[in-house]
Amino acid sequence: MRKKLGLLEERIGYHFDEFHLLKNAMTHSSYVNEKHLPKYECNERLEFLGDAVLEIVSSDFLFHEHTEMPEGQLTKLRAAMVCEKSLAYCAKQIDLGEYLLLGKGEDATGGRKRDSVTSDALEALIGAVYLDGGFANAKEFIHKFVLNDMENKKLFYDSKTILQEIVQAKYSGSMTYHLLGEEGPDHNKSFKVSVFIGKKEYGIGCGRTKKAAEQDAAYKTILMLREMDKE
C-alpha cells in the first residue's frame, strides 16, 4: 500500500513527512468497519478539517478574483465550486478513487467512482496536506487541483445557467428537465434526468439529487450542442 500511495504523492507533487496522514485520508469508513478498526481511523475527521480549509481558500480566491461581486453571488459561486459534483470532478482528474482503501462491498458496488466517496476523499486529502505541511501547502494544493482551469470548471458546475443562456439565444423552443427515474435507498438515492429543448431530448444526467442530475444533464447537453455546431 505504501508503494501505491507513493504514486499518489508523485501525482500530486507533494510528499508527506507524516505518511500515516496520507493513508488516513485514503481510508474509507467501509474499510474501517470491515477490519473492525476504531472509527477515528477512517478519513471522516480529515474530511471535516479539509472542508474548512477549502472554504477559506476558495473564499479568498473568489474575493480577490471578483472584486465587485456582491456577497450573495459570492456565496452561491463558492457553493457551486466546492459542491460534491465539482469536487468529484477534481478528484477524477488525479484518479483519486484508485488509491482508496475500501471495504469489499463498497469496492464491488463502484465506490471508487462514486461522487460522494471521491469528493470526501479529496477534502480529506486537503486536510492531510494541511496537517502535514501547513496552510501554505494546503493552499497550493487547492489552487493546483481545485481552483485551476476555472473556465472549464465553470462550464461543469454552472451548466444549467449556461445552457439556459444558450437556449434563449439560439433556440425557439423552451427548455425543460424530465425525471426519468430514481433508484436506491433513501440515504443513497440516484436520480436520472433528461433535457428537452422543445420536443427533442438531448443530454441525460445522473446524480444523488434531482438538482445534481439536472446539472449533469445540462453539462452533457452543452457538449452535444457544441459538437453539433462543429458539423
Report, as residue numbers or ranges, the catalytic residues.
Answer: 51, 123
Q: What ranges make up the beta strands (E) of the chain?
A: 175-183, 190-197, 200-207
CA-CA-CA-CA dihedral for 210, 30, 142, 188, to nearest 10? 0
Cα–Cα nearest to 184, from 207, 211, 151, 155: 207
C-alpha cell at 105: 462491498
Cα–Cα nearest to 91, from 133, 50, 49, 134: 50
